[in-house]
Amino acid sequence: MTAVIALVGRPNVGKSTFFNRLTRTREALVADFPGLTRDRHYGTAQFEGRQYLVIDTGGFEPEEREGLVAAMAIQTRLAIQEADAICFLVDAKEGLSAQDEEIAMELRRGGKPIYLVVNKMDAKGAVSELPEFHRLGLGMPYTISAAHGHGVETLLEAVFSDLPSEEIAQQDAGKGPRIAMLGRPNVGKSTLVNAMLGEKRVLVFDEPGTTRDSIRIPYERDGKPYVMIDTAGMRRRARVGEGLEKLSVLKTLGALREADVVLLVLDARVGIAEQDSHLVGVAVELGRPIVVVINKWDGMSPHERKAVKQELERRLSFIQYAPVYTISALHGTGVGDLYKSIDRLWQDSRKHFSTGELNRALGEIIETHQPPMVGGRRIKLRYCHQGGENPVTLVFHGNQLTRLPGSYKRYLESAFRKALHLDSIPLRLLFRQGENPYDPQRGKH
């Protein structure tokens, strides 16, 4: 499960600078969501190979003096609820303020791990001693300069040493495919979860996730283990305002990262919204297999059904490989059929192919349609090997691969899908310049 770290503090203590410091090497995946395109408060970051999400909560406005809870922006309160750890920033130059003390009091009530971060230690006039910050009762302060990066690595080492390791977070992997629901509110995700868990269920127990109220529910169906990642809680809270709507995106992104198979649930009567396309785009970027589930299909006329299918082909053309099911979650119609694709996609996404098998396929594919000529020289694909699973990743080596046109890359993807019988899952292709290290003639010139 992807960890979430919230940056909290009053205005102008350097949260945005710290956010930029943490996320500078990675583009925020959520930037494509409606309403988040210009919002730089959400981003992905990486520390020692571990990816995590960062929330810059904005500042607590000092003008409102009716108590901290009244003065906190709803987005900040919800960020604290969603986070695994909280970095509480204070200003070394200005010293401790009454507002810092109010914020500390509220944070302690939340029961989340809190790291007191004294920023701007390199600023002129910064405090040289830290006893006043000890008054907050939040333990030893971590001193940093967000602007220059001093002390940031030490802080992150402390944060991640206290969080569950990725191995522990992923321990459900042995319990079968992890299934995540994707879709807008009111499309029937909760009803579908209940229908899937209730059908021939052998064992169900709620296991609260370590982050964001996601519930991982291990269960069995026909003797096979599954794990349902249920994020129903975010829908209930989403009614309170736009701030939570944005935070529900973080919850969804975390569920996508953990999932093995994603069910995209659409309301047949509403159609496909821009938000649906963006959510699917994130799932595709993460390489997750997708099953398109059109809910509330019952009662629709043939004309309406035809219109829905045409819209699906038009709006989601970039996942033409994804299987499509029409169901009624309320009545259970077609729900059991979903498991056919869930099982197949999970198995396909975990397949391993030998280098010999891949290169035999590559030879046949090139023989059928050779790469184009560029600058009087033909682009050469010399060999291929598997670079990962879920998504299945194929790594190609050769000459002039940076000049390989998109049309030929699409041909390779389509041809390998057919050759490897991977017609319904994402297939990621990577291209590397260089010679074949397995070539016995290499270096004999």
Binding residues for GTP: 9-16, 56-60, 119-122, 183-190, 230-234, 295-298
Annotated binding residues: 9-16, 56-60, 119-122, 183-190, 230-234, 295-298
Structure tokens at 219: 């269960």
CA distances from 198 to 176, 202, 360 (A): 17, 9, 46
Helix (H) or strand (E) run with residue 248 in it: helix 242-258
Do β-strands 215-221 and 201-204 pair in parallel, antiparallel, or remain unpaired?
Answer: antiparallel
Task: Report how far Cα 322 is from the mean position of its chain's Cα atoms.
Answer: 19
Dihedral through CA 104, CA 106, CA 110, CA 114, nearest 10? Answer: -10
What are the φ/ψ torsions at residue 294 (nearest 5 degrees)? -95, 110
Q: SS3 of 373, please?
A: strand
Helix (H) or strand (E) run with residue 382 in it: strand 380-388
Residue 100 contacts residue 94 (beta carbons within 8 Å): no
Comparing C-alpha atoms, which of 244, 254, 269, 262 is closest to residue 186?
A: 269
Distance CA 98, CA 103 (A): 9
Comparing C-alpha atoms, which of 203, 182, 209 is closest to residue 193?
A: 182
Comparing C-alpha atoms, which of 16, 195, 9, 35 is closest to residue 96?
A: 9
Distance CA 354, CA 361 (A): 11
Structure tokens at 207: 């296991």
Do β-strands 373-374 and 142-143 pair in parallel, antiparallel, or remain unpaired?
Answer: unpaired
Distance CA 381, CA 399 (A): 7
Distance CA 51, CA 26 (A): 10
Structure tokens at 430: 């990577």
Residue 417 contacts residue 423 (beta carbons within 8 Å): yes
DSSP 123-163: STT--S--HHHHTT-S-SPEE-BTTTTBTHHHHHHHHHHHS
What are the φ/ψ torsions at residue 255 (nearest 5 degrees)? -65, -40
